[in-house]
């Protein structure tokens, strides 16, 4: 026999049906935006691969494509950070229903509609993102784009040092790194600053996320994704 608390989790049958459809809608929305995230990452991977092919295609090829693709990857990262905010919002709504409604039902207890449903209702009335732009960019940077930028950096400096033949002196390195009127030393320094900057950004946003997870007690929750 089914416990009455399970049968009546604070909603009538019509409300439960509406919530079921709402949950399916939020799952669908989060899936769509997840696909958009994957598309942006694919663009970054493909353009990086094209730059690698162009720079290592022959002995006279310039390392400039590897410089340009680094900037292009950052553009894709900015776009993906914006998309991640939408994905995170829809996923958070679905997760709220899972923990506030479906979890208690499956555990055989009454769902408390005075807590999670109020939060969800306010979010529908006044749509707000649960994560800031810097933190969204930081998460995508740590999960995906950091690896792409590492490959770009390794390829760029490898191009300068060993392709088509290993350098014999620092003067040769500066000559290879020069871009038009820009001296090679300045180009290499700018590249080093660029990569140090995104590493620091990833670390600082990780610290901010960690403080938020500890504050909310969600250390093992899938909100880390």
The average confidence (pLDDT) of the chain is 89
Structure tokens at 216: 């909310």
Q: What pLDDT does residue 173 have? A: 93
Looking at residue 182, the DSSP 8-state letter turns out to be B
Structure tokens at 195: 């990569």
The single residue listed with the structure tokens 């807590």 is 115
If phi > 0 it is left, if psi is from -120 to 50 it is alpha, else beta; for residue 202 that is alpha
Task: Kindly report the pTM of this predicted structure.
Answer: 0.85
For 111-168, give the secondary structure using H, E and C.
CCCCCHHHHHHHHHHCCCCCCCHHHHHHHHHHHHHHHHHHHHHHHHHHHHHHCCCCCC
* Average pLDDT value for residue range 66-75: 96
What digits encode the pLDDT tens for the residues 90-125? 999 999 999 888 888 888 776 666 678 888 999 999
Residues 6+ apart with CB under 8 A from 27: 94
Look at residues 180, 10, 194, 171 and name the one whose alpha carbon lies nearest to residue 104. Answer: 10
CA angle 160, 51, 147 (to 5 degrees): 85
Residues 6+ apart with CB under 8 A from 143: 225
Measured CA to CA, the distance from residue 218 to residue 47 in angstroms comes to: 36
Measured CA to CA, the distance from residue 37 to residue 139 in angstroms comes to: 12
What digits encode the pLDDT tens for the residues 132-189? 999 999 999 999 999 999 999 999 999 999 999 999 999 999 999 999 899 999 999 9
DSSP string, 101-114: IIHHHHHTS---TT
In the predicted structure, residue 209 carries a pLDDT above the cut 60: yes
């Amino acid at each position: 026999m089914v416990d009455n608390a399970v049968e009546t989790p604070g909603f009538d049958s019509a409300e439960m049906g509406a919530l079921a459809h709402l949950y399916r809608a939020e799952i669908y929305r989060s899936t769509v935006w997840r696909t958009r995230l994957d598309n942006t990452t694919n663009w970054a991977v493909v353009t990086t691969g094209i730059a690698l092919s162009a720079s290592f295609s022959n002995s006279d090829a310039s390392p400039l494509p590897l410089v340009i693709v680094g900037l292009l990857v950052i553009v894709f990262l900015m776009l993906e950070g914006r998309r991640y905010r939408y994905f995170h919002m829809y996923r958070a709504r679905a997760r709220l229903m899972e923990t506030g409604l479906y979890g208690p039902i499956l555990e055989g207890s009454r769902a408390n509609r005075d807590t999670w449903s109020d939060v969800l209702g306010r979010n529908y009335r006044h749509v707000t993102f649960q994560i800031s732009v810097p933190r969204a960019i930081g998460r995508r940077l740590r999960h995906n784009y950091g690896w792409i930028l590492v490959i770009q950096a390794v390829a760029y400096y490898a191009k300068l040092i060993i392709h088509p033949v290993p350098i014999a002196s620092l003067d040769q390195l500066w000559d290879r790194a020069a871009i038009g009127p820009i001296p090679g030393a300045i180009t290499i320094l700018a590249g080093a600053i660029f990569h140090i900057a995104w590493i620091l950004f990833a670390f600082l946003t990780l610290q901010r996320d960690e403080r938020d997870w500890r504050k909310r007690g969600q250390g093992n929750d899938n909100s880390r994704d």
